[in-house]
Amino acid sequence: MSLIESGKALAQGLMQGAMAKAVALAPDSWIPGGEPDPLIRHQHGSIGKPVSRIDGPLKVAGAAPFAAEFPMADMVYAAIAYSSVARGRIASLDVAAAEAAPGVVLVMSHHNAPRLKPAPLFMSDPKAAAGDSIPVMQDDAICWNGQPIAVVLAATQEQADHAKSLIRVTYEAEAADTDFEAAIAAGTKPSQFMGQPLHDKLGDAEKALAKAPVSIEADYRTPRHNHNPIELHAVTLAWDGDTLRIHDAQQAVAHSAWTLAQVFDLQPEQILITSPYVGGGFGSKTLWQHHIIAAAAARMAQRPVRLMLTREGVYRTVGGRSLTQQHVALGAEEDGMLTALIHRGVTAKTAHNVMPEPFILPTRSAYAARTMLLDVQQVELDMISNTFMRAPGEAVGTFALECAMDELAEKLGMDPIDLRLRNEPEKDPISGLPFSSRHIAQAWRDGAARFGWDARSAVPAARREGEWLVGLGCATATYPYYRMPGGAARITLSREGEATIDIAAHEMGMGTSTAQTQVAAERLGLPMERIRFNYGDSTLPGLVLAGGSQQTASIGAAVIAAYNKLVAELLALAGNDSPLAGLKPDEVGSQDGGLAKLDDPSRHESYASILNRAQRAAISVEAEPPQPLETMHWSMHSHGAMFCEARVNVVTGEPRVTRFLGSFDCGRILNPKTAASQFRGGIIMGLGLALMEETQFDERSGRIMNPSLAEYHVPVHMDVPEIDVMWTDIPDPHTPMGARGIGEIGITGTGAAVANAIYNATGKRVRDLPITLDKLL
C-alpha cells in the first residue's frame, strides 16, 4: 500500500471512529436489530429443524456442476508456467517450441498480453476482490517465486501441459526479502486491518505486569497455512463480444465481477459470473491472477477457455494464511483476576496486499483485564500475497492467548475454566460497548459436564495407559458477528403461492441454500417446497461476501428488508375488500400462505387471493437492508468452550486426539444438522492447525516447498475421532433470526485446546505449531 493509500485508510479509520462513538450512544431502537427480528419468537416452524441439504441428492450423485464441469463448444485448455525466482526480471522467454507444439492455439506472456489495468485489491474498495495488485503479464518484473509468466492454450489439457514444458526462460534475479527473522531485524511497521490500526491500549499494561503478584510470559509461533479446498481453483469462461461469462469457483461473485470489469475496462454488467456449487473455499476463492489470465487469453484466442489450476498452481498463485510470532504476557492477582494482558507480535505480508494476519482480534473482547496492550507489527516479504483463511486472526491468535491462559492457570494453581470465568467481562473491555448476547459461562458449564472435565488431573503426565500418556485440555473459541454493507435481496411471490428469493450469495458447503430456504419459508409462512432460493450469480441483487461468517446475517437482513417492502405492497394491493383492510405493515405477519393480523389471525388473506383480486400474476420487490450499525452499538461475538483429550506415545512421541467437544454459544441455530457439520469442520481444520499443517517456505529462495496434498498434511479419516458438539441455542436479540455466524468459530481455540491437552498429558509445552512428534520426544 502506498503512503497516500495508507493516509486515506487512516482518514477513513478516523471517520469510522467518530461515527462509531455516535452510533454507540444512539438509542437501541435506532439501530438495526434494536427491534428483535419477529422470527426469533417462532419456535415450531421450519427454523431449527435438522433438514437434510436440499442440494444433497445432486451432490452425492455427482450431478452438481462445479466450475470446470461446464462444457463449451470449441473450448481450449490452459496450462500456466510459473517463475522460479522471487524477485527480478525475465531476461529471456522463448516460447517458439511451445507455440509450434501440437494443438497449441496461443502462448500468452508479457510479450503479447493485452494491456490490462491493475486489479483493485481486496478491501481497497467495497467491491474489490483481488488477492494481489501485481499487474498480470504486463512487463518482465517478477515479484514472487511462483508468479505466472506465461500461459498456453491448447485443444486438450495434455497438449497444453506438454507445450508449457517447452517454454524456456532465464531470469535476472535480484536480492529478495524472503527471510522473516532478517526482515524483523531490519525493522517492523505497525499494522492496519480494514482501515483501523491493529493496536489497542488500556492503561499501562507493562507497569501493571511488573507489579503483578503472579505473571507469565511466553512466545508462540504459527506457520503459514494453505486453505486446500479439494476443488482446485478453476474457471470455464467465454467472451460474447464485450461480455464475459464465467463459470467460477467463487465466494464473492459480485465483488469479482466488479473487479474484473476494472481490469478489462468494462462495465460491471459486462462480466457475468455464476458459481452454483463451490468445492470449498475457506477464504481462498476470491479473485486471483488465474481469472485474469484465462479471460485475457480467451479474448486473444477468441476461444472459450477452461483453466483449472494444478494443486501446485494453487500454492503458487493463491495465497494462504501468513505466519506469526506472538508474545503474550499475563499478570494476575493471587485470585486470578487479570491485571495485565499483553498480546503483541509480528506477521508478514507483501507490498502488494493489505492483509496482515490480525491475531489480536480475539483478545480485544476476551477478558476483563485491568490493563491491556495489543499490537500487531508487520514486515513485507517477497512471497505470494497472503490472504484470509478461515478465522483470520482468531485461528492463530487464540492459540497464543489460550495457551497463555493455561500457563497462568497452572502457575496460579487454578482450574483453567475457573480462571476464564473469573475474568469474564461485564462489557467489552476495549470498546466499552455492551454485549449483544454472551452466554459463554453456560457453554463452559454445559461442556465441562458433558466432557467429564472433573476427571482431569491438575498435575501433568499423571495418566498413562500402556505406551500412551493421556491428558485433557480446554480453550475458549471466539469469533465476531459481522454484517458487511452492500446486501440486497429480491423476493418474487407468484399467484400460485410460490416464492423466489434472489441474492448474489454463495454455497460452498456451509448449507446456505438449505438454511436460507428454511428461514424464507418461515418468514413467508410457506412450506419449504414452495421456496426457491437462487444464489451464486453476479447478476442477482446484493454484494454478499461468503466470508467473515457473515452470509447468514447479510442474507437475513436483506431478506427482512425485502419482506417488509413486500408486506407493504401486498397490503396496498389487498385494498378495502380484504380482511386485512386498514391494517398497517407492522400489524401483520405471514401465516399459512398469506398475511394475517398479528393479534387476530382470523383476519387472514392468502397471497393467491390478494394477487388474484389485484389481477397480478406475481409481485416482485427488491430492497437493501440498513447499514450494519449494530456492530458499532453492541459488542457482538460468538463463543465456544473447547475440550480435548490427547494422547502422546512415550516411545514415538506421536500425538493423537482421541476425544473433542465443542460447546458453543452462537445465537440461534437455524439447522442443527448443517450447523453441526460447520462446527465439526472448523474443529477438524483446527486439529490440522494444531498437529500437522504447515506451508513450508524456503527462506533462501522464497519458494513453497510442499505444494501438494501429499506433503502438506491435512487431517484424514484416521486423524479425526468422533467430535461432539453442543450449543446454548440462545437467540441473539439483535441479529437477523437471532443467529450469529458459525463457519469459522470451530477453528478458533482448537489449537490451544489440543496444545493444552498435550501439556496435561506430557508436561511438555509446545509453543510452536504444528505440534509434531519431534517436538514431543
Query: How would you label 593-616 residue by residue, b for 16+ Cβ within 10 Å and e otherwise?
Result: bbbbbeeeeebbbbbbbbbeebee
Site for another protein contains 71 (CB under 8 A):
yes
- Contact region for another protein (CB under 8 A) — 23-31, 156-164, 178-186, 768-776? 156-164
Contacts with another protein, 461-500, as mask; x by CB under 8 A: ----------------------------------------
Write down the least CB distance from residue 673 to another protein, Å.
5
# of chain residues touching another protein (CB under 8 A) = 63
Site for another protein contains 64 (CB under 8 A):
yes
Site for another protein contains 61 (CB under 8 A):
yes
Tell me whether residue 243 or residue 658 sits nearer to another protein (CB atom).
Answer: 658
Tell me whether residue 425 or residue 721 sits nearer to another protein (CB atom).
Answer: 721
Site for another protein contains 224 (CB under 8 A):
no
Write down the least CB distance from residue 662 to another protein, Å.
12
Tell me whether residue 328 or residue 683 sits nearer to another protein (CB atom).
Answer: 683
Contacts of 615 (CB under 8 A, 6+ apart): none
Q: How many helices (H) and strands (E) does the chain have?
A: 19, 32
Q: Which of 605, 624, 630, 744 is catalytic?
A: 744
Question: To 10 degrees, what angle do helices 253-263 and 289-301 make?
Answer: 50
Contact yes or no for 488/622 (Cβ under 8 A): yes
Site for another protein contains 532 (CB under 8 A):
no
Site for another protein contains 69 (CB under 8 A):
yes
Contacts with another protein, 722-751, as mask; x by CB under 8 A: xx----------------------------
- Contact region for another protein (CB under 8 A) — 35-43, 115-123, 404-412, 720-728? 720-728
- Contact region for another protein (CB under 8 A) — 215-223, 274-282, 477-485, 761-769? 274-282
Write down the least CB distance from residue 678 to another protein, Å.
8
Question: Is residue 491 within a helix (H) or strand (E), and if so which, with residue range?
Answer: strand 489-494
Write down the least CB distance from residue 554 to another protein, Å.
19
Tell me whether residue 288 or residue 444 sits nearer to another protein (CB atom).
Answer: 288
- Residue 27, phi then psi, degrees to nearest 5: -65, 150
Q: Are strands 338-349 and 372-380 parallel, antiparallel or unpaired?
A: parallel
Phi-psi region of 752 (alpha: psi -120 to 50; beta: other; left: phi over 0): alpha
The residues in 334-393 that bind another protein, with binding defined as CB under 8 A, are none
How crowded is residue 673: how many other Cβ atoms within 10 Å of its Cβ?
15
- The Cα 456–Cα 221 span in angstroms is 27
Indicate which single residue of 308, 499, 571, 574 sits in contact with another protein (rule: CB under 8 A): 308
Write down the least CB distance from residue 229 to another protein, Å.
6
- Contact region for another protein (CB under 8 A) — 54-62, 196-204, 536-544, 754-762? 54-62
Q: 359 to each of 182, 280, 348, 402, 475, how far by Cα in Å?
A: 21, 24, 12, 12, 16
Q: Within 365-511, where are the H helices?
A: 394-412, 416-422, 440-451
Site for another protein contains 55 (CB under 8 A):
yes
Phi-psi region of 74 (alpha: psi -120 to 50; beta: other; left: phi over 0): left
For 275-432, strand residue ranges (E) read 305-308, 324-332, 338-349, 372-380
Indicate which single residue of 9, 235, 508, 689 sits in contact with another protein (rule: CB under 8 A): 508
- The Cα 309–Cα 160 span in angstroms is 12
Contacts of 536 (CB under 8 A, 6+ apart): 250, 253, 274, 275, 276, 277, 278, 504, 505, 506, 507
Contacts of 606 (CB under 8 A, 6+ apart): 497, 592, 593, 594
Contacts with another protein, 193-212, as mask; x by CB under 8 A: --------------------
3-state helix, strand, coil in the chain (%, to 5): 30, 25, 40
Site for another protein contains 232 (CB under 8 A):
yes
Indicate which single residue of 279, 283, 356, 594 sits in contact with another protein (rule: CB under 8 A): 279
**Sheet-wide strand order for 637-649:** 464-465, 468-480, 637-649, 655-665, 723-727
Write down the least CB distance from residue 247 to another protein, Å.
12
- Contact region for another protein (CB under 8 A) — 158-166, 201-209, 316-324, 555-563? 158-166
Question: Is residue 389 within a helix (H) or strand (E), and if so which, with residue range?
Answer: none
Site for another protein contains 26 (CB under 8 A):
no
Contacts of 289 (CB under 8 A, 6+ apart): 132, 134, 136, 147, 148, 317
Contact yes or no for 253/198 (Cβ under 8 A): no
The residues in 510-529 that bind another protein, with binding defined as CB under 8 A, are 510-511
Indicate which single residue of 87, 162, 316, 523 sits in contact with another protein (rule: CB under 8 A): 162
Site for another protein contains 231 (CB under 8 A):
yes
Indicate which single residue of 708, 763, 773, 777 sits in contact with another protein (rule: CB under 8 A): 708
Tell me whether residue 120 or residue 715 sits nearer to another protein (CB atom).
Answer: 715
Q: 315 to each of 109, 528, 707, how far by Cα in Å?
A: 20, 41, 6
Site for another protein contains 502 (CB under 8 A):
no
- The Cα 103–Cα 105 span in angstroms is 6
Tell me whether residue 26 or residue 716 sits nearer to another protein (CB atom).
Answer: 716
Site for another protein contains 705 (CB under 8 A):
no
Site for another protein contains 317 (CB under 8 A):
no
Write down the least CB distance from residue 671 to another protein, Å.
10
Write down the least CB distance from residue 500 to another protein, Å.
21
Return the C-alpha cell found at 602: 382470523
Indicate which single residue of 20, 58, 97, 266 sits in contact with another protein (rule: CB under 8 A): 58
- Residue 322, phi then psi, degrees to nearest 5: -80, 165
Site for another protein contains 720 (CB under 8 A):
yes
Tell me whether residue 119 or residue 742 sits nearer to another protein (CB atom).
Answer: 742
Tell me whether residue 127 or residue 247 sits nearer to another protein (CB atom).
Answer: 247
Indicate which single residue of 16, 84, 310, 494 sits in contact with another protein (rule: CB under 8 A): 310
Tell me whether residue 228 or residue 590 sits nearer to another protein (CB atom).
Answer: 228
Tell me whether residue 517 or residue 678 sits nearer to another protein (CB atom).
Answer: 678
Write down the least CB distance from residue 353 to another protein, Å.
23
Q: Are strands 618-623 and 489-494 parallel, antiparallel or unpaired?
A: antiparallel
Site for another protein contains 157 (CB under 8 A):
yes
Site for another protein contains 228 (CB under 8 A):
yes
How crowded is residue 158: how many other Cβ atoms within 10 Å of its Cβ?
13
Tell me whether residue 426 or residue 722 sits nearer to another protein (CB atom).
Answer: 722
Contact yes or no for 742/675 (Cβ under 8 A): yes
- Contact region for another protein (CB under 8 A) — 18-26, 275-283, 523-531, 551-559? 275-283
Question: What's the residue count for the chain?
Answer: 777
Alpha carbon 557 to chain centroid, angstroms: 19
Contact yes or no for 245/260 (Cβ under 8 A): no
Q: Are strands 104-109 and 148-154 parallel, antiparallel or unpaired?
A: antiparallel
CA angle 43, 48, 54 (to 5 degrees): 135
What is the three-state SS of 107-167? Answer: EEECCCCCCCCCCCEECCECCCCECCCCCCCCCCEECCCCCEEEEEEECCHHHHHHHHHCC
744 is catalytic: yes
Indicate which single residue of 15, 17, 22, 56 sits in contact with another protein (rule: CB under 8 A): 56
751 SS3 class: helix
**Site of interaction with another protein (CB under 8 A):** 52-53, 55-66, 68-69, 71, 156-159, 162, 227-232, 277-280, 282, 308, 310-311, 508-511, 673-674, 676-678, 680-685, 708-710, 714-720, 722-723
Q: What positions carry a catalytic annotation?
A: 744
